Every structure is written in C-alpha cells, then in structure tokens.
Amino acid sequence: MNPSRLPRSLAPLALLALLLSACGPMDRVVVLPPPSPGMEATAARGKDLVVALQGLCGKAFAGRIVANTPAAADDPFAGKTLVMHVRGCKDDAVRVPFHVGDDHSRTWVFARTGDGLSFKHDHRHRDGSEDQLTQYGGDLIAGDKAGRYEFPADAHSRALFRKLGREVSVPNVWAVEIDSQRFIYELARPGRLFRVEFDLTQPIPAPPPPWGG
C-alpha cells in the first residue's frame, strides 16, 4: 500500500493501518479500562472495615442477641455467653473468633481482595479439622449506609448449601456494622433475621483460642 497514491483525506488512515500491520503480536499494547467508580468505592469501603477491626486487635467483647426470628427450640445461641475476639490481624486480613458458650468452632474471616473484601465463616471441630459446612460467605457489595457492610452469599457458598441440603440458606446475606460503640453481626434471608450486638466500650478478658487456632 502506498499512502501517497490515496486521496489526501484517506492517507492518514492508510498510514495508521500500515503501521499497525507491521507490529507483531508482542508489540501491541493492550490498554485495560480503569476500575469503575463502583469498584473503587467498594475497595475503599473494604479497606475501611479492615482498618476499623485492626484498631480492635487483641481485644474481646461481650455480645447479646438483639434479633432472632423465627425463634427455634434448639437454637444453639440462646442462653449462651457470646464473645467476639479480634485475634488475628494482618495488613490484608482479620480473623475474629466468635465464641458461643464453650463452643469455639466459629471464626469470621475478613480478607481484602483486588476489588473489595470477602467475608467467610471458618468452622472447625475440636481437633482443628474443618467442618463440612465451612468457608462460606460472600463478597462486599457497594452500599450507601456508613458503617454497614453487606455480603450476599457467593457462588461457592450457594453450591455448598445445595450440596448439603441447606437450600434455605442460598439467599443468605450477611452484614456487619461498626462504630465507636458497637459491632453488629447480622444474618438475613426471607423469613429469617439474626443479629448479635457487641459492646465495644467494655473490653473483656480474652477467651481461649478457637478450635484450629
């Protein structure tokens, strides 16, 4: 192709095509689009939650149930001492064991990801081995309410619930709220609401390590 023989209006385009055709696959630069404002906001909110929890590292707090519907006769939380312990703090993750009486099987895991934050439930047996119902949770979604963070069940969790015959849990949405005085853990789905509120103004002695460390 000789750009000089083309009409003047088409010559620049022909020259550009000629230059591109001369570049091999390794010479071409792929320009990725910048993160969307929503992704940036979600990542920033995830960082805020991790930083807030890191400020409580090493401390334990007593909790109380403030919502539990519908009530169940075999509810494992009813009448039990509830304690959260901000125990494992890293730059990109925080582990918070949730003790229910003498049951030390539960740990909440907040981990920063490339575009936000994941929230998982790590369930262990007394010997430290994983329960079959474990590592479920979801990824942070953008929200407008300051201090509230919501995590709908992710694909892995929904598949796990179905595998274990727990279809009722598929639409689960977990949420946490935090300010200078309280931390709230919430589980919600159609027909179910469970909320535990922890008093951050009154630290208590640390409980034993969770099962599995």
Residue 92's CATH number: 2.40.128
Are residues 151 and 48 located together in one domain of the fold?
yes
Tally of domains within the chain: 2
Q: Are 183 and 84 in contact (CB under 8 A)?
A: yes
Give dist(CA 88, CA 36) in Å, integer.
31
Are residues 129 and 24 located together in one domain of the fold?
no
Residue-wise burial string across 58-79, b where 16 or more C-beta atoms lie within 10 A, e elsewhere? eebbebeeeebeeeeeeeeeee
Q: Are 154 and 33 in contact (CB under 8 A)?
A: no
Instruction: Return the structure tokens found at 121.
Output: 């439930």
Are residues 52 and 82 located together in one domain of the fold?
yes
Domain that holds residue 25: 1-31
What pLDDT digit, counting tens, does each position of 79-130 carry? 999 999 999 999 999 999 999 999 999 999 999 998 899 999 999 999 999 9
Enter the pTM of the model.
0.81
Are residues 26 and 125 located together in one domain of the fold?
no
Residue 209 in domain: no
Q: Would you call the peptide bond into 70 cis, given omega within 30 degrees of 0 as the criterion?
A: yes
Q: Work out whether strand 82-85 and strand 93-100 pair parallel, antiparallel, or are unpaired.
A: antiparallel
Sign of torsion over alpha carbons 144, 145, 149, 151: negative
Q: What is the predicted pLDDT for the residue at 28?
A: 44
Residue 113 in domain: yes
Query: Residue 25 — very low, low, confident or very high, per pLDDT cuts 50/70/90?
Result: very low
